[in-house]
A and B are shown apart, each in its own frame.
Chain A
Amino acid sequence: MDFMVFQYPMISVQACLDGILLGILFALIAYGMALQWGVMNIINIAQGDLVILGGYIAYFMYLYGIHPAWGVIVSPIIMFFVGIAIYKLVINKVVDRDLFISILATFGISILFMQLMNFAFGADVVLANSDYGTTMLFNSNVVLPNSKIFSAFISILFAICLVIYMKKSKLGRAIRATAQNARAAKILGVDTEKVYAATFGINAALCGVAGALISITFTIHPYMGLPYTIRSFMIVIVAGLGNLPGVAMSGMGLGVFEEFADYILGTEFRIGSVFLLLVLILVYRRFKLSRKREYLK
């Protein structure tokens, strides 16, 4: 336990700003999760592993001398096809079935990806150095790496582009129609199979963007996927499906919570506190709903 964060207000400011910038990234991943959950009614445990895979793409570009920021463009393109491949191989067989089947099947994919990445890229913690320097605020009391600001900016940009795309384009309309009622959409001539594949691809591409940004701003490691899945799940259940401002807000809230947990409890309890927060949120919602004799389902 360390309460320095309360004695020096500048540390709190630092934690808040760090948390908000981090939370915007979480919100981007959570947006992908909400998309596939709403459209296909599956929960993808491999979400975090897709993020890490996207991060490794940017990292490899960095290793070959290309500036990792280009990963923001390359990584989603590759991840889109990875996502479609996963959909064709596994997900299309679990879409209409029990949710637990999809959880377990994607858990299998998650273990598979984790190990394949471990073989391919090694078990070291890596980061792609972007050389963006830092920004000093408040008399150099608060230090913000420019890469974090860059990543938050890019995340917002991608989220806005996606929202406009979902509103305006034909595929976006088809996706929204399928989310509302898959059967009716099918009757009205929407190729739902294609919509599902595209949705999963878009989700994977979003993960790719987020992963590339994470490899620039933070570190990546083959086994770090599951916490990202849990974070995005948590953000989605707090915000609700199809509530984008809510997703952004709860993402930032989670980011700030994590930074403070990091300062107060110590870094070794950071991931543990995320998982514990998930349990607490679910239990809180369960008691809130049970007053009306309803339940989380």
Chain B
Amino acid sequence: MSISKNNLILYIGILTFGIAAPFIFPAFKVQLSILCVLIVLATTWNIQGGEMGYNSFGNILFYGLGMYLCASVQVGMFFPLAEWTESGGEKTFVHTPAQFFQGMAVGLIVAAVVPTIVAGLIGYSILGLRGHYFAICTLGLGVAAGEISGGIEIIGAGQGFTTPPFPDVGSLDSRGEFFYFLSFFVLVLTFIAVRGIYSTRFKLILNAIRDNEDKAEAMGIETMKYKIVGWMISAFFCGLAGGIMGGLVGYIDSTDVAFDGREMGVFMVLMAILGGKGTLWGPIIGATVFHIFKEGFWTFFLGWQYVALGVLIVVIVIYFPEGIMGWLREKYPERFGEVVDEKDRKAQVELK
């Protein structure tokens, strides 16, 4: 993968901004961390929905799984898990700083690896479905996971699971900074990985699957293998994002926080579509615009947020399915390296 000079300046600019952001906007640290997580989710959803053409509602499964795993490991490494959830929010056990960070590190590794394995195991069965069957099946998976985890006692069942509180180190700001840099690190990692993937033959195969899977298979591509690997990559980063989000929110509920298909599960699809499916920057722009809109205007709706969300989904899907990147591409095709034939363009205008 080669980086042109302009791009290099852009990347360095974004990286500097990312590192400086919590100090420039100290009041928005939590919001910025959530933004990073949202971008990760949208970007990884785009690997299926955008590049591969498999519209999944089920990536929330890996997100929720990562969230529960990270918190459970973090607690279970040092204290009995059952007693922890039994006592609920009461702090009978306190993590020392060393224990907290150790637990978090191991927890995040588990939160990334286990969903990847799960994706690999169920991938062969689920990815054999196509089109809307895949969409509904993954929707079912996400909701089933939420309902079932809501009945398991050891992770808090219906009453929820409190993640370990951040230990008392240094100043009061350290919690926000820690989670911001953690999520920003995961974001950078995701971006590098996805950009790397998109510059290889792997992306072309994913696009071939999207355009015509039967033909791709006829050309000798083992489509199933690539589909599973694509899903596993998504699961890896979704699990990481979930683990961080669990620590950030501080409280895990089965259907409202972890397997929140109604909110996070739709958000990631919506953000990717808003930004432009099947582009590298689309989900990033989409997530940023969506998050700013959500946080900026949510407070004006006061309880009507979900009504606004429903309307927003309908409007974006019906009137803006190409997304921001698609719109830009139509408007300025030259910027995207497309050669426009003036004659052809005129002919098209006449046809309209």
Interface residues in chain A, defined as those with a beta carbon under 8 Å from any beta carbon in chain B? 43, 90, 93-94, 99-101, 103-105, 107-116, 119, 226, 230, 233, 237, 266, 268-269, 271-272, 275-276, 278-279, 282-283, 286-287, 290, 295-297
Does B296 count as interface, using CB distance less than 8 angstroms? no
Are the C-beta atoms of A100 and B131 separated by less than 8 Å? yes
Which residues of A lie under 8 Å from residue B131 when comparing CB positions?
99-100, 296-297
What would be 16 A-B contacts, judged by CB atoms less than 8 Å apart?
Answer: A90-B314, A103-B135, A105-B314, A108-B309, A111-B309, A114-B306, A230-B140, A266-B151, A269-B151, A275-B144, A279-B137, A279-B141, A283-B128, A283-B137, A295-B129, A296-B129
Which residues of A lie under 8 Å from residue B129 when comparing CB positions?
282-283, 286, 295-296
Contacting residue for B313 out of A104, A119, A286, A296, CB 8 A: A104
Are the C-beta atoms of B136 and A111 separated by less than 8 Å? no
Are the C-beta atoms of B151 and A105 separated by less than 8 Å? no
- With A104-B269, A226-B143, A271-B147 known as contacts, the answer to whether A115 contacts B310 (CB < 8 A) is yes
Are the C-beta atoms of A43 and B132 separated by less than 8 Å? yes
Which residues of B lie under 8 Å from residue A110 when comparing CB positions?
310
Does B126 count as interface, using CB distance less than 8 angstroms? yes
Does B148 count as interface, using CB distance less than 8 angstroms? yes
Shortest C-beta distance, A82 to chain B (Å), equals 15
Shortest C-beta distance, B283 to chain A (Å), equals 16
How many residues on B have C-beta within 8 angstroms of the other chain's C-beta atoms? 41
Chain B, Cβ-Cβ closest to A272:
B147
Contacting residue for A297 out of B55, B130, B318, CB 8 A: B130
Are the C-beta atoms of A275 and B306 separated by less than 8 Å? no
Tell me the dominant secondary structure on chain A's binding face: helix
Shortest C-beta distance, A27 to chain B (Å), equals 19
Which residues of B lie under 8 Å from residue A103 when comparing CB positions?
55, 132, 135-136
B87-134 interface (Cβ within 8 A of A):
125-126, 128-133
Contacting residue for B140 out of A107, A116, A278, A297, CB 8 A: A278
Are the C-beta atoms of A282 and B309 separated by less than 8 Å? no
Interface residues in chain B, defined as those with a beta carbon under 8 Å from any beta carbon in chain A? 55, 125-126, 128-133, 135-137, 139-141, 143-144, 146-148, 150-151, 157-158, 262, 266, 269, 273, 303-304, 306-307, 309-314, 317-318, 321
Are the C-beta atoms of A112 and B303 separated by less than 8 Å? no
Chain A, Cβ-Cβ closest to B141:
A279
Which residues of A lie under 8 Å from residue B311 when comparing CB positions?
108, 112
Which residues of A lie under 8 Å from residue B136 when comparing CB positions?
43, 103, 230, 233, 278, 282
Contacting residue for B314 out of A108, A116, A282, CB 8 A: A108
Which residues of A lie under 8 Å from residue B148 when comparing CB positions?
269, 272, 276
- With A268-B158, A296-B129 known as contacts, the answer to whether A115 contacts B144 (CB < 8 A) is no
CA distance A100 to B304 in the complex (A): 26
Are the C-beta atoms of B128 and A94 separated by less than 8 Å? no
- With A90-B318, A283-B126 known as contacts, the answer to whether A275 contacts B140 (CB < 8 A) is yes
CA distance A103 to B131 in the complex (A): 11
- With A93-B318, A112-B310 known as contacts, the answer to whether A296 contacts B125 (CB < 8 A) is no
Which residues of A lie under 8 Å from residue B150 when comparing CB positions?
268, 272
Shortest C-beta distance, A275 to chain B (Å), equals 4
CA distance A107 to B55 in the complex (A): 14
Which residues of B lie under 8 Å from residue A269 when comparing CB positions?
147-148, 151
Which residues of B lie under 8 Å from residue A100 when comparing CB positions?
55, 131-132, 135
Contacting residue for B147 out of A105, A112, A275, A290, CB 8 A: A275
Are the C-beta atoms of A286 and B309 separated by less than 8 Å? no
9 closest Cβ contacts across the A-B interface? A112-B310, A108-B313, A272-B147, A275-B144, A111-B310, A115-B306, A108-B314, A268-B151, A278-B140
